[in-house]
Amino acid sequence: MDYKKAGVDIEAGYKSVELMKDFVKSTMRPEVMGGIGGFSGAFNAAAFKNMEEPVLLSGTDGVGTKLKLAFVMDKHDTVGIDCVAMCVNDVACAGGEPLFFLDYIACGKNFPEKIATIVKGVADGCRQSEAALVGGETAEMPGFYPEDEYDLAGFSVGVVDKKDLITGENLASGDVLIGMASSGVHSNGFSLVRKVFEKELTKEGLNTYYNELGKTLGEALLAPTKIYVKALKSIKKAGVTVKACSHITGGGFYENVPRMLKDGMHAVIKKDSYEVPAIFRMLAEKGEIAEEMMYNTYNMGIGMIVAVDPADVETTLEAVKAAGETPYVIGSVEEGEKGVTLC
């Protein structure tokens, strides 16, 4: 008896690392110390030596049951972007610059090419957010996961000067809410998605083209989560102070928007201020999901919201566009009980 007969192939692990090396190297920043394969990832703190009071920020998350669609379609090159996005967007939401990222892949059987493809997606996400992929772990767990399945999670560490933290403390009545378009469902609510599209969760069903989507169902649902790091950096570079910020993830508008508000402030968002993507309309109609539940579960086409002074609206819109994202003026902040009204 040996480890391989028990279901763990060490040689496959070595091959996975070899195949992913170039992807990892492509994410390196000058502050990264040492090479690939160490016991820990080292990052030189010189990155923030000029800050008055540096504050470290962290975010951790996974891809959730969206992975089930990747399994059916045998498409694994974008779920890594989702994993990075869910973490670095939270860091950026507080005003931070993501510095580095680490991933964790647990699988039933290590297929080196598949693992390398997953990590390629992680590296893509890291390059989009300008974070270094400084380490990770691939755990082969036979008997725990089916051979063709895996889970993917990770975490990011970032930094911000304390004076630049986005806290919502300076919100004032009349401040304007600007939303940035999402790419679709992102990485939340897929247990409900899979229930609604239960009959379509085959390779044939997910590869079916829908005119209203302008793509296949699988392409619409697997579209990688938007990374808003560059857009938020662009706003800051333009000289705009973001007073509050919300990453619209699990819990949709009703849970996430109040998190950006201080006590005594109320957000009012106009639902007709932008076009809700077709995938959400299809999901609501097919699943007979009430509108309130949709806004309480999904991003409904808006992945990130910032609050700015009315005088900064045009500058903010131009900065977001310059970063390649699509912005909308979606509402405002007023005095009242902490919460959100969608009208």
Q: Is residue 143 domain-resident?
A: yes
Q: Is residue 85 domain-resident?
A: yes
Residues 6+ apart with CB under 8 A from 198: none
**How do residues 259-283 score in pLDDT, each as one tens digit?**
999 999 999 999 999 999 999 999 9
Q: Is residue 296 domain-resident?
A: yes
**How do residues 131-184 score in pLDDT, each as one tens digit?**
999 999 999 999 999 999 999 999 999 999 999 999 999 999 999 999 999 999
Please tell me whether residues 70 and 207 are part of one structural domain: no
Position 46 scores a pLDDT of 81
Q: Is residue 170 domain-resident?
A: no
Of 164, 194, 218, the residue that ends a domain is 164
Please tell me whether residues 59 and 23 are part of one structural domain: yes
- Average pLDDT (88-108) is 97
Position 36 scores a pLDDT of 72
Please give the C-alpha separations between residue 6 and each of 3, 10, 141, 142, in angstroms, as whole numbers: 5, 11, 10, 8
Position 23 scores a pLDDT of 85
Decide if 158 contacts 134 (C-beta within 8 A): no
pTM: 0.95
Q: Is residue 279 domain-resident?
A: yes
The three-class DSSP label of residue 230 is helix
Please tell me whether residues 156 and 180 are part of one structural domain: no
Phi-psi region of 336 (alpha: psi -120 to 50; beta: other; left: phi over 0): left
**How do residues 289-318 score in pLDDT, each as one tens digit?**
999 999 999 999 999 999 999 999 999 999
Of 137, 164, 191, the residue that ends a domain is 164
Contacts 24+ apart (CB under 8 A), 249-252: 249/86, 249/89, 249/186, 249/187, 249/188, 249/299, 250/188, 250/189, 250/297, 251/188, 251/296, 251/297, 252/294, 252/295, 252/296, 252/297, 252/298, 252/299, 252/300
Please tell me whether residues 129 and 190 are part of one structural domain: no
Please tell me whether residues 187 and 98 are part of one structural domain: no
Distance CA 287, CA 298 (A): 14
258: domain CATH number is 3.90.650.10
Q: Is residue 72 domain-resident?
A: yes
Decide if 68 contacts 113 (C-beta within 8 A): no
Of 99, 133, 164, the residue that ends a domain is 164
74: domain CATH number is 3.30.1330.10
Position 3 scores a pLDDT of 58
Q: Is residue 55 domain-resident?
A: yes
Position 47 scores a pLDDT of 74
Checking if the pLDDT of 229 tops 90, the result is: yes
- The whole-chain average pLDDT of the chain stands at 94
Q: How many domains, the chain?
A: 2
Q: Is residue 1 domain-resident?
A: no
Question: Which domain range does residue 67 map to?
Answer: 10-164
Q: Work out the pLDDT band at 34, boundaries 50, 70, 90.
A: confident
Q: Work out the pLDDT band at 18, boundaries 50, 70, 90.
A: confident
